Structure 1
């Protein structure tokens, strides 16, 4: 691409932002989180440069983030923790969103695990951190549970790798039971 004088126009730097977050956002929290994510993604959207969002598109934060990335004109990369994830883990009420976001993704990475278990989730977190320039954590700040593969675990891994972490937990956000 060239400008009016025929000089090359520098390409915008691609920014890859991965997400980790809670599955159990309350119904009231979802629009609060979405508004916060829309605001956070603004500097990376449109003419600011190519935005790539990386998400496991689990219910809750992952899905809200993926929808915000697409609304901002970004490209979506989906990381599927295991071969049985859609069939064995995705709840029926989330299936439509999961399928729609999978279809909208530029790339779907299915990890080589048969079952969605701790090892598969830890590997998915590792892929998120490996691909990210930044990590967005829709996170209430609770420490790791020791189960592995959770939101706090991804935050710890990203920080250890020197990846900047943006915590999103707007006032009024809450987790359900």
Structure 2
């Protein structure tokens, strides 16, 4: 069984979404020689595209939610149906004990993801994190643990 995690930008442009979705499918497709488990915090953008790609390829998804209020506080109405569908399809949902979402909770959730995987995919434009627990911080933590990191950022991709 292959356990792969995700970190990445949540603010992908509309035009970038299909580029990232395709790149994730191609990246994950070469790993389907054994059962695939995708581990994600299920944030909008990269995490949800990753979860959908894992499921499309016949894998299963495990979710780590950063805080008890994550769904109510961080999931926007225009993304609620996609979030709920993917959450319902998860085989494991682990909600961290933080009462409120915030930078500390996000980094703790990412650390939990990193603790249960053998490799990380990062949908990353190479820029610094916008705050503690951002994509660059998670990549740095993964590398410190010795986890292989695959960067996915196709030509023409950009953030809003």
Q: Report the TM-score when normalising by structure 2.
A: 0.98
Larger Rg: 1
Gaps of 5+ in 1: 1-13
Post-superposition offset of 1:143: 2.1
Structure 1 Cα separation of the partners of residues 93 and 31 of structure 2: 22
Q: Given the alignment of the two structures, is residue 164 of structure 1 paired with residue 148 of structure 2, yes or no?
A: yes
Post-superposition offset of 1:144: 3.1
Post-superposition offset of 1:122: 1.1
Let me know the Cα RMSD of the aligned residues.
Answer: 0.8
Q: Given the alignment of the two structures, is residue 32 of structure 1 paired with residue 16 of structure 2, yes or no?
A: no
2:116 aligns with 131
Post-superposition offset of 1:78: 0.6
2:139 aligns with 155
Structure 1 Cα separation of the partners of residues 94 and 12 of structure 2: 25
- Spell out, residue by residue over 1:90-138, the C-alpha distance to the aligned partner (whole angstroms, 9 max, x if none): 1101100110001000100100000001110110110111111110000
2:107 aligns with 122
2:83 aligns with 98
Q: Given the alignment of the two structures, is residue 70 of structure 1 paired with residue 50 of structure 2, yes or no?
A: no
Gaps of 5+ in 2: none
SS of corresponding position for 1:79: strand
